[in-house]
A = this chain, B = another copy of it.
Amino acid sequence: MTEHELPSNLLEQAVNEMSRLPGIGRKTALRLILHLLREEKKDALKLGESLTKLVNDIHYCTVCHNITENEVCDICSDSARDHKTICVVEDIRDLLAIENTQQYNGVYHVLGGIISPIDGVGPGDLTIDLLMQRLEGEMPDEIIFALPTTMEGDTTNYYLHKQIAGRVDKITTLARGLSFGDELQYADEVTLGRSLVERIDYQTS
């Protein structure tokens, strides 16, 4: 369909930009943009304007690299939280997911990605330098790695561990095992194997 040239350069450019987003192809981009064009002009303008404003005015917390509107984010400036425990996450979606559990009262460090050579993301693209500075200044008791359980997540875990080992007393990572509601027969071998190896004492669980 999109083999045929679009009838307007403006449309072509918008479709090109939209289809650079992950999982959005040219057909989908055109569909979304045509939907936008059918709206009232003042409503249709809001998406572009809010994106431009966001990219121009976005601030990252100078402590943990969370997105914020202030110099320091709400979590880092909350004195009721435990500033001696730092949870390292890939991006703010994971931070929000952990906040939603209401099981964590420490602070965070947002890496802004994970090491992925295929996508051209190396350690230098992440906020690892900032994390190392925090270790010097804040002397945390514990660092928790809360990274994805993927090849890239494990690579990042490994790299961070090598950098941090010896500087912090306690380095932990999220437990791996069966998910809530999992049936054993459908669990993958790696997960089931690890949940056996790292089985928990029934008295303490």
A residues neighboring B (CB under 8 Å)? 1-4, 6-11, 13-14, 16-18, 20-24, 28, 30-38, 41, 44-59, 66-69, 73-75, 91-93, 96-97, 99-100, 112-113
A56 neighbours in B (Cβ, 8 Å): 45
A55 neighbours in B (Cβ, 8 Å): 36-37, 41, 44-45, 48
A58 neighbours in B (Cβ, 8 Å): 8, 10-11, 37
A47 neighbours in B (Cβ, 8 Å): 17-18, 20-21, 48, 51
Main secondary structure of the interface of A (DSSP, over half): helix
Q: Are B8 and A96 in contact (CB under 8 A)?
A: no
> Given A32-B21, A38-B113, are A6 and B52 also a contact pair (CB < 8 Å)?
no
CB-CB nearest in chain B for A55 = B44
> Given A34-B91, A68-B7, are A96 and B45 also a contact pair (CB < 8 Å)?
no
Contact of A48 among B7, B51, B68, B92 (CB under 8 A): B51
A8 neighbours in B (Cβ, 8 Å): 58-59, 67-69
A71 to B: closest C-beta gap in Å: 13
